[in-house]
Amino acid sequence: MNLKFTDMVKHIAELDVATAQAYTMVEAGTGIKIDSLTDFIAKFIFTEHLNNRDVTTTILFNTLMISENTVRAKLKMMIAFDLIEVCEASDDKRYKHLVPTELLNKIMYLLVACKLKTATDISPMFKLMFSSTLDKFYKEYNLEDSISFKNNTKPIDYKKFFEGQIDKYPQKTTLKH
C-alpha cells in the first residue's frame, strides 16, 4: 500500500468532519450540549487523572488564562451534572483536586471508541495496522456496540452505554450556559 502525506491529511480532515457531525448528533440524541470550554475542561481533568496528576482550580486558571469566575461557573455546572467531583488530598485536607466521575470516564471511553472506529473506516492503513488490537480493547471495555461516526446516519442511542446514569439527572438537559 502506497501512503502519501496528502492521503493522511485527507483522512484526518475526514475524521474531523465526521467527529464534528457526530457531536451535533450526540447533542440532538441526548439533549446534552457541551460548549468548547466545558469540553476542554472535561478532557483536561480526564487526561491529567489518567496521568496521575492532580488538577486544582489554580492549575485550570493558569492553563486557561480566562476569567476565574467563568472557570468556577463551568466547574459548578460540571459538578452538578456529575461529570467531575472535588476530592480532598490525603496528606493535606486544605488541598482539593478535581477528578472525573464514572460517568465522565464512560463518556470519554465511548467517544474515543467511536473516533477510533471512524478512523478505521476512513483509513485503510489505520485499519490494517490497528483493527485487531482495537477489537480486543472494545471487548475489554464493553464498547463493541459503539458506532463509527462515519457510518452513522441517525442519532446514536448513547444512553444504553451509561446504564441509567443519565436518567438519574433528567432535569439536567444541557451543559451549555
161-170 pLDDT per residue, tens: 555 555 554 4
What are the sequence ranges of the domains in the chain?
A: 18-168
- The model's pTM: 0.77
Q: How does pLDDT run across 76-108, given as a tens digit for each residue?
A: 989 988 889 999 877 777 788 999 999 899 888
Which CATH code, of 3.30.1600.10, 1.10.10.10, 3.40.50.720, 1.10.760.10, is assigned to 18-168?
1.10.10.10
**Which tens digits make up the pLDDT trace of 23-74?**
777 666 656 667 889 889 999 999 999 999 999 998 999 999 899 999 999 9
Which of 23-27, 78-82, 123-127, 133-137 is predicted most confidently? 133-137
How many Å apart are CA 86 and CA 100, to the nearest integer?
A: 9
What are the distances in angstroms from CA 108 to CA 40, 94, 137?
12, 29, 14
Residues in the chain: 177
% the chain with pLDDT above 70: 80
What is the pLDDT at residue 176? 40
